[in-house]
Every structure is written in structure tokens, then in C-alpha cells.
Structure 1
């Protein structure tokens, strides 16, 4: 082994062993610098150019690039993908873009707000942080958003999104009115429920394998400046599961629904349910209860929620949170993932002096991911969002504890609609999962993030067995895995979970079979999870 190789190997080993230090010394300041430069760039862009007027010109340049691909000899045509670097995406995978024909999508602008139709039209690279900053002062927000500010409107549209408002409206895709797509031949089409409806149905969960998204229309809802939040501590698994079904309207379509609903489960038998409603703070008493949860010196939100575990109903268990701070409440700690990276991150001293640098950008966390760290994400961590019917809520929590033994666990109720033959990749809810008298079933996002208990206790942990067991449970229950996270399914199992019939028809009809990667190849891990898992299990 030559000197250069030895040095490189030592550096990689050091980075893996001291990742927390790397995050504090590199990722935090680099994230801050990156964000500052980006904001300055956006400000200059807005001042010097009326960007929405240039949208058509930018789209034509994308079409020109795609047409150039069509002119290449067939033997020299790799499949197409966006030129956005892997480390800028929120997916845990590293798709091999270097093997593809890459097309730049420089589309970052909010194009139009139609208050009569209650629609906002955006380019795909507009982030959640930007769209909430734009809409909320005007008295609106997206019908479905996300808690991480770096997530993009386009990324959520081509993948999936869910929020604590989803028990009222469903998944992100239910709030999309139209997609503007550049197809494999370079043509531009607008897909709606009535025009190119097959494409409209299949673009969600397609992960960029049917064309290049260049604009979309999203439904908005009127809001008030604050969320009146009530924290309800519940002991007993059946008790908190029953309350979540009650509050979400799972059994009663006429139930009065809160604007926002979620639960954080801290142990199998203990949870805090959060019920939020739009509100004004129009009295001194209400203003005294305002909590700016996103300020840098404040405890991480889930730690704040944890303080309500032992409070009785007679104690103060309500507060008013500014709407944008509520929507992005999990941003600083990336839910609770940051704790495994910076164990001292919620320490009051750290928050006071360095909390303003948090969170590290997910882009920079991926940027510092070495092969060893990538392998570790399979065998020593779990990061999964899972959509399941409310009928298996208790069973799923038990299963997650059995396989992963890590808390907290997140629960977001969400409608899953039965659109008949128009369901795209999602299989419709089963008859017994439907809410009586409706066209939807009440499902929920089960968020399991962190270090499995066996890993913490340095016991033998078989990550492949755990994940494949959970995936089998999901399939048998009629649920779905979010595909931004690593999957352990083989192709036949993937097709059990998702219905690819219409998707394949669209691939053929719109000429994308040889132009874009297929869905399974796009979302499966880029490394052999089975051999990595087996090697780790044998060594432990």
C-alpha cells in the first residue's frame, strides 16, 4: 500500500470515528455559509431580474438539452437524470448520476399566486423554507408542507410528502393541481386530473423517472398567525391509539377535526398527543403563552414535548406558536436524528453559543458521508417513514419496538383516498380500512428514527432481518414505505407493495423506458445492503 493510499485510508477512518466533531467544526459553519450565500444570491437575483418572466426561456433550455440527448447515437444514450448533486437531495441513497446524461434544472422561483383559485404556481426547486416565508405573511400556507426547510416543492411532488394537516387533506399529491413536465422527446405537457390524467396519477412516487418537472400548481389554505397547541399526555397504548383515531376522525366522518394533529410516542405505553388550531393572539393572556419554539437557544421541539409527559390536565398544557415556527418545528434537530450525531446538541450551553448554527444542512451531512458511514446507516441506524392503516396502529408500535427498540416514534394521521382506477402507484385502502361513508381510509406515518436499542447496548443486531421483517409487515398490512429512505425489498416484493401497472403503461406511452431509470432502480440502495448486513452480523 503506497503512502497516498495509507493517508487517504487514515483520513476516512478518522472522519468515521469523529463524525460528531466533523459536523460541529465543518458542517455547522459550512451550512451557515452555504445558506448565507444562497440567500444573498436569491436577493440579488430578485433585485436584478424579474425571474418569473424568464421561466419559459429556462424551460426551453431544458427542452433543448433533452432534444440533444435524442440526437445522440442510440448506443451512446445513457438514461437521463437531473444534474443536481446527490448530496443536495434529502434522500439517503446515492444514485449513480455519473452514469447518466445529466440535465440542469435551474428553476428556483415562485411564479404566481392565484387567490381566487387558492393556488400557488412554483418552479420545482422552491424550498419549503422559501414558500412558507412567502405565503404566511399573506395569510396562506400550503395545504400540505413538510417540517424540513430544505425540502423542495418539486422533490415532494415527485416523491411524497405528509404533514400534521394530512388527516384533513391527505398526502402532498392530493394538493397538486397540475404538473408541467418535459418528456423524453423534449416536448412540454401539462398534466392535470383531466388532461394527461394517467401521467398526473403516476408522477407522485415516480422519483423523476417519467420526465423533468419544470413547474407545478399547489393548493393553499387560509391561515391565522398562530397555532394554539394543546399537549395531552396519555398513559396506556390502547388509550393513546384510541384518542388518535378519535381526533383524526377515523371512525366518524362528521367529527370536528383539529387543524393539526400528531403524537410523539416516548415508550410503548406513554405518548404526548398534540392538537393544534389556527389562532390569533389578541389578548394579553394569550400573548403571555406565546412560545417561539424555533429560536436557537430553545430546547429541541421533541424535548420540549417530552416535558409534558408527567403534567396533569390541571396544569398548563397549552401555548401559542407562531405558524411558521410550528410548521418548521422539527427543523433544528431534524426531528431527533441530530442527537445521534451531536449527543450534546440539546445541552443549554451548546444551544446558547452554537445553537444558532443548527441544523447542519442535510446536504453537508451527506457531503461528509464516507463509504464506512454509508454502511453504518444500514447496520447501526434506522431512518424510516412508513404509511400504515390506523387499524394496525398498536401492532405497528409493538413491531417497531420488537425490531428496532428505539424511541421516540412519530405518528402523523393521514387520509389515503381510493381513487378507483386512478390510484397510480399506491394500492387503494382495503374495504376494512375505509372510513365509514367516505372515499378514504385513515392511515398514518410511523416515523422511526435513531439508533436501535441492541446497537446502543452493543448486542447483536441484524439490520437486514429487522428491515425485511418490517417491510413484510408493511406489505401484509396494506401500507407503503417512503422511498427517500433505504429499502431492503427485492423487486418482486417491491411490486407487492406498489402497483406498477399504470406506471409501466406511462413509461411505454410517453417513451421513457429507455430514457429514464425505472423506479425500482432509482430508489434502491446503491450498495449491497445484504452483504453489508451479513458482514456486520458475522463480526458482531
Structure 2
């Protein structure tokens, strides 16, 4: 804890300096799982990248003290040594504890345990004036609740206390094929009310083909007689490809998956986004090439390449949580307008809305019926990720149309992706009055607001630099093939891809 306290003191001093000099700053974590443009000025950051340790694990209490930049894979391996397991583990190994708490982060266990922030018992936070406080359900409760989905706009997170569960080594996975959007949503809700399930998600491959996947934690038991399937080795098939092959057989299928393979089953290929890289470079998308190029197909490498290449502006990327009764309507809209497949489905607990950026309650139509009050039921998240080759004007129009349809159906975006709202549209969805009062109460008005952090900035000429190198970067970024190669080069080269270069 001594090293932790020394680092926190440095963070406090830096924040106090910015507060006293009335200088705006950003929080630098050293990595990101956002698909928005990321570019930090080294002279205007509070660097918390070294806060990346699991400080202690209490086996008796089933809790852990963890710094915010601990990634999911490191958290899992450390808790596993103690025979424990985080209730919610995001599917990409590089997603951090801090990002999960103050961002929007959930997974297939979120129908049961809520978003990741619901597994946090307390938080250590440096406020905008440098004051160090602890927030929990019994201490600074209003701040604790406000930190959910606040994106670092109420203070700088330096440590959290996490709730843990007893570890089991395997997941008994069951695949339930579906034949329509309505069938998929119905089967998903059937699985979420089954108290024996620990995990539920789904993938839709076409309007008439999908699969709902449920999982139950279990210890290895050979008497089950189930085959064991892995997804983490280069020679293993990608999870979604395996799931599709099962769905095509139109029968329920069970298998055992080691817990570490299940939790990070979407890491190889970043769900199915890696498939588009093969198409882009005209490489056959077959098992052999997936095996040979496995190094490039893990999410840490892919995020690096994505930001370096500028490809975030060539894809439609949205995760949107809808009232469960409206999810099928949105899937049908995506089918008619864009025909983007696969789609990811993830059921969410009814308290999910309050974890997503301080929104207003939803009081519209659900399942074709006008609500008599505010919606307090379950949600189903739909992940829409796919290429959209078009002009910038058409790209903007299409994404704004998606956001408009989303608002009509009471949906909420996960704010890791590019936001296309106007400011007026933003504050129609989010509760400005309540949020501003909270920021004022905790002296956070000198920090950027959530809108300031997520609003669309697009690409500017100065982002590429000046002179010959700047011109060369503009040429590369304007050519789809060259920008893809540049992204791969930067990912392999390594180094920081978010800090601006200083002369």
C-alpha cells in the first residue's frame, strides 16, 4: 500500500496544480477500449497509468482492493490464485477496472450481477480540487452513485474494492438456436429467469438464424460426459464461428468450456471484427490463415491498429441497450436499413440504465404499448458493428439515423463509441440539471463534462501534423488500403498511440 499511497499523492499534487492554475486537463490511463479518436497532450494530463496493481485479496470476505488500470485478464489471474472470480468480467482482456466502473461495461453475467460498476463496493477518488475521499453505499453515497457512468467527470479514481465469488473451473455452455428476432429475444428472456444460469448472451447471424448461449459455472466433472471446447489457442476456432456452426444444426448443444476460455472467448477476432481485416487485405478467411495470423487478431493489437489507421471512421460501431420489449424492433430496423450481421445480444439487469452516463428515465412505448410511468424492466443490448463504405456525409447521416431510431425505442448507447448527437439532442437524453448539481456539489465543474468528453470532433487537418510528414499522413489516411497497412505497422511497432508527440 505504500507505493499506492505515494502514487496517489503525486496524482493529488498534479490535480491541485491544475485546479489552482485553472488549467483544464485529461486523465491518461495508458490504454483505451474506446473507438473514439484518442489524442492526449502530455502537458495537460494527469497520468494514472501506473495505478495498475491488485493490492490485496481477502479470501474470507471475498473482496479485493484493486487499482483502476488493472486489466481484466490480470484481475482474473490474480483472483483465480485465491480461488475467487469477479462476478462480471468484460470479454476483452485489456478493459480495465476503472473503465468498467466509471464507463459502461457489462458482459453475459450482467443479467444477474448488473454492469461491472455494480460489483464495486467502494471507491477511492481524488476530487477536482485534490481532496481524497472514499465513496460507498454508506459513505459519500451520492458521489458513489454518481460515479457510475461518469467517465471521470466527478473525480479521478485511484482504487476500488470489488466483490468476488468462489471460483469454479468450468462453464457448462448450452447453445439454443433461434429462428427469428422475436424467437431470439424470447429465448433470451427465458434463459435469464432460469436461476441456474450464470451467463447468457446471443449472436444473430441473419434474420432467420441465431443462437442464445447460456452458461453455468461448474467444477470439472467427467460424469457429465460433455465434450470440452477451448477458444484461446491459435488453433482453436473463433467462438462466434463455432456458435454459428452449432446454430446451423438447429439443435440444442451442450459442452464444457474452461472458465478462462469462456470469459475471453471474444478476444480472438474482437467478436467478428477481425474478419473484416481479412476481407480488407483480400486474405482468405479460413482456419489456416486465422491460425497463422493469430497474433494480430487479439483485441489489444487490434485496438492499437484501429486507432493508428483511423478506421474508427469507416465502421458503424454501436452498442445500444433497449427495453427488452423494443429490442426485436431495432434488430428488424438494422436488418432492413443496413443488413449488418452478426449482431450481438446481451441481456441486462433492470438497474442498467442508471449505470449509463446519467440519463433521464424512459417514459415512452415498450412492446407497442405506451408506459403509464417510467420503464423499470430489463434491457437487451444489441451490438451493431460492421463496415459502412460511404462518404463522410453519408456516414454521418446513417449514424445519426441510427441514434434517432434508438431514441424512439428508448435505447441508450454505450459511450465508448463515436457519438453523433448535437448538444441539444444529448441533453434531451441525459439529465443535465441533476448531473450539473452533482458536479457542483463535489466541486467538479472545472473538469470536462461527459458531453465534453464524448462529443464528436471528427478529424482535423492539424491532427496529421504539418510539413511533409503531415502531408504523407493525410495521403495514407485517405487511402483505405494504405491506412490499414499503417495501422498494422504501428501495432507491431508498439509504443504509445494516444499521446501527442512532443518536439
Give 1:57's aligned residue: 6
Conservation of the 8 A alpha-carbon contact between 1:183 and 1:211: yes
Conservation of the 8 A alpha-carbon contact between 1:345 and 1:351: no
Q: Match for 2:254 among 318, 339, 346?
A: 318
CA, structure 1 residues 472+297, in 2 after alignment: closer, same or farther (shift >3 Å)?
A: same
Equivalent residues in 2 for 1:106-185, closer than 5 Å: 106-185=50-129
Conservation of the 8 A alpha-carbon contact between 2:359 and 2:430: yes
Separation in 1, partners of 2:297, 2:364 = 45
TM-score (norm 1): 0.77
Q: Deviations over 1:147-178 (max 9, x none)?
A: 00011111111111111011112112222211
- RMSD after superposition: 2.9
Conservation of the 8 A alpha-carbon contact between 2:87 and 2:119: yes
CA, structure 1 residues 418+168, in 2 after alignment: closer, same or farther (shift >3 Å)?
A: closer
Separation in 2, partners of 1:274, 1:171 = 19
CA, structure 1 residues 93+442, in 2 after alignment: closer, same or farther (shift >3 Å)?
A: same
CA, structure 1 residues 103+345, in 2 after alignment: closer, same or farther (shift >3 Å)?
A: farther
Equivalent residues in 2 for 1:457-468, closer than 5 Å: 462-468=394-400
Conservation of the 8 A alpha-carbon contact between 1:128 and 1:148: yes
For structure 1, the 5+ residue unaligned runs are 1-51, 250-254, 530-535
Give 1:78's aligned residue: 23
Q: Match for 2:221 among 270, 282, 287?
A: 282
Conservation of the 8 A alpha-carbon contact between 2:274 and 2:297: no
CA, structure 1 residues 363+307, in 2 after alignment: closer, same or farther (shift >3 Å)?
A: closer
Is 1:403 aligned to 2:352, yes or no?
Answer: no
Is 1:394 aligned to 2:332, yes or no?
Answer: no
Displacement of 1:54 in angstroms is 1.5
Is 1:305 aligned to 2:243, yes or no?
Answer: yes
Separation in 2, partners of 1:470, 1:419 = 19
Count residues in correspondence: 451
Displacement of 1:100 in angstroms is 6.7
Separation in 1, partners of 2:393, 2:139 = 50
Displacement of 1:239 in angstroms is 2.1
Give 2:308's aligned residue: 368
Give 2:35's aligned residue: 92
Conservation of the 8 A alpha-carbon contact between 1:424 and 1:503: no
Equivalent residues in 2 for 1:5-20, closer than 5 Å: none
Q: Classify the secondary structure of the residue corresponding to 1:522.
A: helix
Give 1:263's aligned residue: 202
Displacement of 1:345 in angstroms is 7.5
Displacement of 1:433 in angstroms is 6.3
TM-score (norm 2): 0.82
CA, structure 1 residues 137+398, in 2 after alignment: closer, same or farther (shift >3 Å)?
A: same
**Which moved further from structure 2: 406-415 or 497-506?**
497-506
Give 2:472's aligned residue: none
Conservation of the 8 A alpha-carbon contact between 2:356 and 2:412: no
Give 2:156's aligned residue: 212
Q: Classify the secondary structure of the residue corresponding to 2:148.
A: coil
Separation in 2, partners of 1:294, 1:248 = 26
Is 1:350 aligned to 2:289, yes or no?
Answer: yes
CA, structure 1 residues 221+120, in 2 after alignment: closer, same or farther (shift >3 Å)?
A: same
Give 1:521's aligned residue: 452
Conservation of the 8 A alpha-carbon contact between 2:320 and 2:381: yes
Q: Classify the secondary structure of the residue corresponding to 1:462.
A: helix
Separation in 2, partners of 1:418, 1:291 = 31
Conservation of the 8 A alpha-carbon contact between 1:415 and 1:440: no
